[in-house]
Structure 1
Amino acid sequence: MTPAVNSVKRAKKSYVLHEYAHNPGSASYGEEAAVLLQQEPARVFKTLMVAMEGNQKKLAVAVVPVSGQLNLKAMALALQVKKVVMAEAPAAERSSGYIVGGISPLGQKRALPTIIDETARHFATIYFSAGKRGLELEMSAGDLAMLTSAGFADISR
């Protein structure tokens, strides 16, 4: 199992694991998950990595709905830094231990500042990557926040 799933099991939190046949040619991993799991895209979240102050070694995690985009200014404000830029794929993979398209907010190599979009609170449970393409975890946003020491903020547009 992935480090993300193992971390949820260790914490003894309620979750559901969903597996689907991932298409490597898919243009959007998150939208693919929403379609194949027959969920509204606003309830399926993607995990994005940002570099604080543009430093690719100083990363943070944003969890936003696949139906939207990360608002970089709002993310910087939530992290209380001047600016953030999207992390480069190699830096995100090195830091998280996951490959792009399968990055989970859980079970990363080291704990990073994490912000979950406020809209996650609108749902009893949300879906997000379980640490590999074609595998999603479903659990409450509150439990995800507790396990990642995350805050909530309006970071998507």
Structure 2
Amino acid sequence: MARAPKDHKTNALRELDAAGIVHEALFFDADPAMTGVQIAQSQGEDVDAVFKTLVTEGKSGEHYVFLVPVACELDLKKASAAAGEKSVAMVRARDLLPLTGYVHGGCSPIGMKKRFATFVDETAQLFDEIYFSGGKVGCQVRMAPDDLALLVPFAYADLTA
């Protein structure tokens, strides 16, 4: 992992620090062409313990956040069922920043502009610690999945195809 850049504090990291929740911020040189799997492998992380943050919009117009392993795809039918929606669709990348305050590839479930109903793939329960975006490209957070619930209430669900 690289050293923390001078401007390393993101909304997610500020919220974690303010709440006093045990976590580790990890920084790396980000190549925009790399996939989540490639990033996890380059950092020596268990690919199954690294989660991506996906934002959707339901048929009702409500937004939902899903954390799924980087090597997996979000099953939209399972996501819809978890959210109690008839259907959900991915939010377009260009709409992500105004909606959440985060860019594609750097979206964290912590510190969004507004709190949305959040669901974490049930496989997160298999790990003492999981990794997810720290709020910008090149930054990850490592922490216990249940500690995430201290800042972002969520439900575990079967979410992957």
TM class by shorter chain equals over 0.9
Is the deviation greater in 9-18 or in 84-93?
84-93
Q: Secondary structure at the match of 1:119?
A: helix
| Letter of the structure 1 residue corresponding to residue 37 of structure 2 | E
Q: Partner of 2:24 in structure 1?
A: 16
* Structure-2 separation of matches of 1:19 and 1:96: 21
Given the alignment, which residue of 27, 44, 52 partners 1:46? 52
Figure out how many residues of one structure are paired with residues of the other and give that number.
153
Structure 2 residue runs of 5 or longer lacking an equivalent are: 1-8
Is the deviation greater in 33-42 or in 66-75?
33-42
Given the alignment, which residue of 8, 12, 20 partners 1:4? 12
Q: Secondary structure at the match of 2:109?
A: coil
| Letter of the structure 2 residue corresponding to residue 24 of structure 1 | P
User: Does the Cα contact within 8 Å between 1:54 and 1:85 map onto a contact in 2?
Assistant: no
TM-score normalised according to structure 1 size: 0.93
Correspondence 1:70 to 2:78: no
Correspondence 1:113 to 2:121: no
Q: Secondary structure at the match of 1:70?
A: coil
What is the CA distance between 1:88 and its match in structure 2?
A: 1.1
What is the CA distance between 1:75 and its match in structure 2?
A: 0.7
* Structure-2 separation of matches of 1:146 and 1:90: 29
Structure 1 residue runs of 5 or longer lacking an equivalent are: none
% same residue: 33
Correspondence 1:94 to 2:91: no
Q: Secondary structure at the match of 2:134?
A: strand
Q: Partner of 2:130 in structure 1?
A: 126
Moved over 3 A (4+): none
